[in-house]
Amino acid sequence: MTRIRHLEIRNFRSIQTFDWTPSNGINCLIGPGDSGKSTILDAIDLCLGARRSTSFGDTDFFGLDVSRTIVIQVTVGALPDALKNLDAYGEFLRGFDLRTRQLEDEPRTGIETVLTLKLEVKGDLDPSWTLHSDRAAHEQLERTLAWKDRSLLAPARIGTYANANLSWTRGSVLNRLTDERADLGSELAGAARAARTTFGAQAGTQLSQTLQVVTQTATDLGVAIGASAQALLDAHSVSIGDGAIALHSEAGIPLRSLGTGSGRLLVAGLQRAAAAAATVALVDEVEYGLEPHRLMRLLDSLGAKDSAQPLQVFMTTHSPVTLRELAGNQIFVVRQEPGGIHTAICAGTDDGIQGTLRKAAEAFLSKSVIVCEGASEVGFARGMDQWWVHCGATSFLAHGGSYVDAGGGSPDQCFMRGEAFLKLGYRVLVFIDADKSVSTVGLVERFVAAGGQYLTWRSGLALEDELFRHSCDDAVEALLNKAEEVVGRELMAQHIKSKSNGQVTLDQIETEGLISGYTPASRELLGLAARNNKNGWFKSVSSFQEIAKDIVGPHIANAEPGFIEITNQLWRWMSAAA
């Protein structure tokens, strides 16, 4: 059960430098478009694949600079005995410490024996595949891996053309399931001859006029083709070998004609069955062609839930379904630093990562994240974004932004989740009320020092307080109408009576607003009543989204300056996400 222990990429496509020690099982790469995820899979395939040659172009070089050699090195462990043969590969055997995850050039007792395969492409575009160790390079020793041994390491690529694995072609997963091989040389040759003859008899009548013209032209020009040209199958095209033997259904329908998703699903299952012979699989955009329930089945086939880790899988995805099915330690966030330096950061299982994966997997597929204290902040931010789009701005979502609902409660949880996203390279804003203080000493300072930003209302105020205290009279009237639409006038009246100890009624406040405008005392009371703990007037994403888009946005110019400044801060952060 071979495993890739270390991957090194230099000057390949968008990647100038990449060093990675993958996990033993599922390695799901996520990150923004063009971050290099598929390039990493291609690098593994090109270095380990059972191929004698492949074509490269200038575009395969980082920055189109052909003076910088492409180098891909894959270190492989859990080797079969044939690859640990001292006579054949002794000078190239190295060591890998599974505990420290460090590669050593000399094998020794207590660490795993490994081999490093190296693909090198220089400016002449001629690739070379060799084994590598520092001591062999120092002694100028060079050796390639024998073809039969290379086939032991070749990964299975489960991609768009996965159906190629549904016939007995070279490298097909079918040839790895068992040691059975068809020995049908004479029968296949005879079948080819019969096919040519049968086709010629049928085609001759349908192409007779063309054949007559060809015969006459050849005769006139003295080209010897005999008495009559025939339309037979090309002998080269119907030279049938083992690759012509393909799987068919009971009804005789070739399984190659399965849909893309079905083909991938079947091949993944076959790859799992063949794991003893080929244990590394590559899957680009694992969700492609599959409905969510079949995607979940595919991930199961690849061993996503299997503690025994039957396969080492390298996959990419843009699907929240995939992320919800995986554990945090199976997910790696690919980041591109300045100068083409790439990293792959394991999401891990700490800091609430697993809970966030279940609740807001979409956030891991974004570039910028707003961690909101609750549904109110999510709805407000989304609604303001919609208002700004209405005014001609580009949506936060179009910039690759997302929202995470921290579920209310302590603001500490918001900062902890924000800190977890910061560690993975995301741009993070924490958006919270100011009616509760952070209890963890140094948490906010640590978050800001790591590059995070946070936005909150004035001291002691929640979102509802800000809305009723600092919006213009017209906006307050619209908020009351919205509350009546959402929770009903009776409940509103009860809350106002309760919060004022029976001293004030809803009718009194409304009359006051019509005659002389809403007083500071009435505004304060409305804020308290609106954020009632059990039955808040607007406690949903959709309600606050509509309030922000239809009330706050259109009236923001007439709001209190401090409230305007806070919404402007939100705008500046969201619009800078590009």
DSSP 393: P
Distance CA(334)–CA(315), nearest Å, equals: 12
Cα(4)–Cα(15) distance, rounded to whole angstroms?
19
CB–CB of 394/575 below 8 Å? Answer: yes
pLDDT tens track for 360-377: 899 999 999 999 999 999
Q: What is the dihedral of CA 459, 462, 463, 466, to 10 degrees?
A: -50
The two structure tokens encoding residue 566: 């806070």
What is the percent of the chain where pLDDT is above 90?
Answer: 63
184 close to 167: Cβ distance less than 8 angstroms: no
pLDDT of the residue at 301: 84
Q: Give the helix ranges, DSSP H, for 302-394.
A: 320-325, 353-359, 375-390
CB 333 within 8 A of CB 347: yes
Query: Residue range 497-522: average pLDDT?
Result: 95
Residue 341, strand partner residues: 17, 337
Give yes or no for a contact between 266 and 166, defined as CB atoms under 8 angstroms apart: yes
Q: Which helix (H) or strand (E) holds 465?
A: helix 463-470
* 76-80, 234-238, 351-355: the lowest-pLDDT one: 234-238
Question: Are 333 and 31 contacting, i.e. CB atoms less than 8 angstroms apart?
Answer: yes
pLDDT band with cut points at 50, 70 and 90 for residue 276:
low
> Where is 546: in which H helix or E strand?
helix 541-547
| Nearby residues of 319 by Cβ (< 8 Å), 6 or more positions away | 286, 287, 295
| pLDDT digit string, tens, across residues 146-163 | 888 888 888 888 765 555
Report the C-alpha gap between 280 and 310 in whole angstroms.
9
Whether the CA torsion 265, 267, 268, 270 is positive or negative: it is positive
What is the predicted pLDDT for the residue at 247?
61
Asked whether 27 and 315 are in contact (CB, 8 A), the reply is yes
Q: Residue 183 has what pLDDT?
A: 57
- Two tokens, residue 124: 């002449």
Instruction: Name residues whose C-beta falls within 8 Å of residue 429's C-beta, 6 or more positions apart in sequence.
Output: 368, 369, 370, 371, 418, 452, 453, 454, 455, 573
